[in-house]
Amino acid sequence: MDSRVIRQKFLDFFKSRKHVQINPARLVSDDQTTLFTSSGMQQLIPYLMGKTHPEGIRLVNSQACFRAEDIEGVGDNRHTTFFEMLGNWSLGDYFKKEQIWWVYEFLTNVLGLDPNRLHVTVFEGDNLIPKDEETFSIWKDFGVPEDRIYFYGVKENWWSRSGSPDQMPVGEIGGTDSEIFFEFPQVEHDERFGEKCHPHCNCGRFMEIGNSVFIEYKKTGDSEFEKLPQKNVDFGGGLERLTAATNDNPDIFQTDLHKPITDAIVQVIGNPYEDEEEKKLMRIIADHLKASVFLIMDGVIPSNKLHGYVLRRLLRRAAIKMRNLSGRLDVSSFVSMIRIIRTQYNEIFEIDWEEGLPRVNKVITEELEKFQKTLDKGLKEIEKISEIDGKIAFDLYQTFGFPYEVTEELFRQKGQDIDKEQFKKEFEKHQELSRTASAGMFKGGLAGHSETEIKYHTVTHLLHQALRDVLGPEVFQKGSNINTERLRFDFSYDRKMTEEEIKKVEDLVNEKIEEDLVVERKFMSVKEAQKMNAIGLFGGKYDEEVSIYVIGSNHIYDVNAKDQRERSGYYSAEFCGGPHVEHTNVIGGIKITKEEAVSSGVRRIYAELV
């Protein structure tokens, strides 16, 4: 059975059980807190929370998904950044019993999977949410023997867009889940992954092929949950993996969804798909190129920020891996692979390939040709440098986008070893920076984004600056935590604040709120941000674009003021991924309710909206 048949059978199966097929969401997320659609449920959040869906309470679809956070994980038999998720949902209609039975029936009767090779997992419970005995009994009643039902904790059997319960922002929904794994006995357990094999072992013998989430909770406080008004089901099954299981081949890159691409790579490099190291590179190329095609079809173009940055990374990684495999970067080979991808997905999603394909070819060709020049330029630079250390390797990477692995390979040829640790240190500094810039945006919707939380978020910026104004520039944010009731802000300062200082800070924040300052997001190079004295930056020299929230650039400040910030006409500039209010007076006002010590040199403030 190929993927087309499996996709159709899934949709038909649930349609015959009164589900309505809904259109997939765009791959580039419309939701402001995430960059991409990474699961089918993302477009359904308001309906899972109780809003009435126009198509009813039983829904089904096939959703193209992209998970940027998995880029580094691609290369084994089952991980990709781009995949198709088959999904069905109950919005307050049926629950565990029907769901488990239908999924089981679909897998065993429709796809014909051997029930003896199915293993399932169930939530074991923690201090907040009880053990899911009900799901355990249902699986058992359907004939799954107890020794193939496994209990796992929150890390494995709790699902929300932002991960485990402690990572969820207040307002986020989630629930326990039950995953289904298919066992490939032809894959020998690899003891490097642990003594005993089990569904979550990473050796590749087990493959997760489906996940039913029972969404019935909403986070309401630091460690508080309340039940949603309705009990929902959110199922997702990766089409690539279901196809691999149905065809009893543990390598998803050998299903019809990837094999034509890996075959094309084999043609280009002239080596078979055999050697484990080479297979890894081929899988990365196949995945990254396919993901790039879909992102460009959805309007993304390579750049140094957000979606464009991810796309650029995918293309560069694919190009480098191709260069590693074949010794050169042949752009035309990518163009022929793009044609293959188009054929694979013809008439699957509502994609206008006639319009899009020439655009995809152009974007990818231009980007790769530019990258080829980057490589050439970097190579010339390297020629000039007699001794290359990790710091220089990082500068080459940062300035020319010159990949470390190429630098390393060239010097190995020259008989020189680069200090990888030093490179790694520089790299980590840089990663820290990107993480802060895009906090929450590369994963599922992380930051809480109710109106109140957004207000509190802007207040933390004002508070941060006001504390620095009142107490001095040694004040620096150490942490913050927001819920719908209050904000908590930790900062470096070595003594208790006086009543008077607290009052001053509070007044200053309220003054800035009253002044109705505009809050703007600006993208600029780190260099420019440093010039602005933006808070939250790390040292180093970077050309990469970062996101800075500037508060108050509409305000006319005293041109004679001593403070550089005030002369340049803004109140606060801080490195941040947002979201924020658009202008400050919507906040209303704040009250500092408490000031206390956290640890030596770190103080904590609680504040509430008034």
Of the candidates 585, 587, 559, 556, the residue with the CA atom closest to the CA atom of residue 570: 556
Q: Which two tokens stand for residue 546?
A: 């970062």
Q: Are 211 and 178 in contact (CB under 8 A)?
A: yes
Nearer Cβ to ligand SER (53/342) = 53
Give the DSSP letter string of 529-551: HHHTT-BT--SS---SEEEEEEE
Please classify residue 277 by burial: count the beta carbons closer than 10 Å to its beta carbon, then call 0-12 exposed, 13-18 middle and 19+ buried. Answer: exposed
Nearer Cβ to ligand SER (211/254) = 211
Q: Which two tokens stand for residue 199?
A: 């569904």
Nearer Cβ to ligand SER (180/437) = 180
* Count of CB atoms situated within 10 Å of the CB of 76: 16
Task: Give the helix/strand (H/E) hosting 378.
Answer: helix 353-384
Nearer Cβ to ligand SER (40/445) = 40
Contact status: 174 vs ligand SER (CB under 6 A): no
Of the candidates 197, 93, 38, 173, the residue with the CA atom closest to the CA atom of residue 449: 173
Judged by CB under 6 A, which stretch of 231-239, 396-404, 414-422, 426-434 contacts ligand SER?
A: 231-239
Contact status: 402 vs ligand SER (CB under 6 A): no
Q: Which two tokens stand for residue 161?
A: 């867009």
Please state the closest distance from residue 206 (CB atom) to ligand SER, in A: 16
Nearer Cβ to ligand SER (57/357) = 57
- Label residues 87-102 b or e (16+ Cβ within 10 Å = b): bbbbbbbbbbeebbeb
Which residue minimizes CB distance to ligand SER?
236
Binding-residue pattern over the window 198 to 217 for ligand SER, x denoting contact by CB under 6 A: -------------x-x----
Q: Which of residues 267-286 bind ligand SER (CB under 6 A)?
A: none
Among 34, 39, 99, 178, binds ligand SER (CB under 6 A): 39
Judged by CB under 6 A, which stretch of 199-207, 230-238, 341-349, 452-460 contacts ligand SER?
A: 230-238
Please state the closest distance from residue 222 (CB atom) to ligand SER, in A: 24
Binding-residue total with ligand SER (CB under 6 A): 10
Among 36, 150, 184, 235, binds ligand SER (CB under 6 A): 235
Q: Are 208 and 180 in contact (CB under 8 A)?
A: yes
Judged by CB under 6 A, which stretch of 39-47, 139-147, 299-307, 541-549 contacts ligand SER?
A: 39-47
Of the candidates 97, 4, 101, 103, the residue with the CA atom closest to the CA atom of residue 60: 103
Please state the closest distance from residue 114 (CB atom) to ligand SER, in A: 23
Contact status: 156 vs ligand SER (CB under 6 A): no
Judged by CB under 6 A, which stretch of 24-32, 33-41, 336-344, 595-603 contacts ligand SER?
A: 33-41
Nearer Cβ to ligand SER (175/378) = 175
Please state the closest distance from residue 294 (CB atom) to ligand SER, in A: 18
Contact status: 41 vs ligand SER (CB under 6 A): yes
Nearer Cβ to ligand SER (237/401) = 237
Please state the closest distance from residue 130 (CB atom) to ligand SER, in A: 21
Q: How far apart are CA 552 and CA 571, in angstroms?
A: 5
Compute the CA torsion angle 487, 488, 494, 496 (nearest 10 deg): 70
Look up tokens 């509502």; give the residue: 350
Nearer Cβ to ligand SER (42/510) = 42
Please state the closest distance from residue 236 (CB atom) to ligand SER, in A: 2
- Number of helices (H), then strands (E), belonging to the chain: the values are 18, 16
Handedness of CA 28, 30, 32, 33 (dihedral sign): negative
Nearer Cβ to ligand SER (225/235) = 235
Contact status: 236 vs ligand SER (CB under 6 A): yes
Q: Which two tokens stand for residue 500?
A: 């008077």
Nearer Cβ to ligand SER (39/477) = 39
Nearer Cβ to ligand SER (208/545) = 208
C-alpha distances (whole Å) from 574 to each of 243, 356, 442, 554 are 47, 38, 20, 16
Please state the closest distance from residue 215 (CB atom) to ligand SER, in A: 8
Please state the closest distance from residue 49 (CB atom) to ligand SER, in A: 15
Please state the closest distance from residue 39 (CB atom) to ligand SER, in A: 4
C-alpha distances (whole Å) from 491 to each of 397, 482, 574, 601, 606 are 34, 15, 15, 8, 12
Nearer Cβ to ligand SER (161/205) = 161
Please state the closest distance from residue 127 (CB atom) to ligand SER, in A: 24
Look up tokens 């600006």; give the residue: 522
Judged by CB under 6 A, which stretch of 54-62, 233-241, 366-374, 517-525 contacts ligand SER?
A: 233-241
Q: How far apart are CA 134 and CA 138, in angstroms?
A: 6
- Label residues 51-63 b or e (16+ Cβ within 10 Å = b): eebeeebbbbbbb
Nearer Cβ to ligand SER (87/440) = 87
Give the residue ranges of DSSP H helices in 401-450: 404-413, 420-437
Q: How far apart are CA 197 and CA 558, in angstroms?
A: 69
Judged by CB under 6 A, which stretch of 34-42, 168-176, 248-256, 370-378 contacts ligand SER?
A: 34-42
Among 24, 40, 302, 378, binds ligand SER (CB under 6 A): 40
Q: In this structure, what DSSP letter does residue 25 have?
A: P
Q: In this structure, what DSSP letter does residue 39 have?
A: S
Query: Looking at 173-291, which runs of residues are DSSP E strands?
Result: 173-183, 206-221, 224-238
Contact status: 159 vs ligand SER (CB under 6 A): yes
Q: How far apart are CA 167 and CA 223, in angstroms?
A: 10
Give the residue ranges of DSSP H helices in 118-238: 133-141, 154-157
Q: How far apart are CA 207 and CA 198, in angstroms?
A: 10
Among 87, 204, 302, 579, binds ligand SER (CB under 6 A): 87
Q: Which two tokens stand for residue 498?
A: 């006086």
Please state the closest distance from residue 235 (CB atom) to ligand SER, in A: 6
Nearer Cβ to ligand SER (67/604) = 67
Please state the closest distance from residue 541 (CB atom) to ligand SER, in A: 39
Contact status: 83 vs ligand SER (CB under 6 A): no
Q: Which residues bind to ligand SER, rule: CB under 6 A?
A: 39-41, 87, 159, 211, 213, 234-236
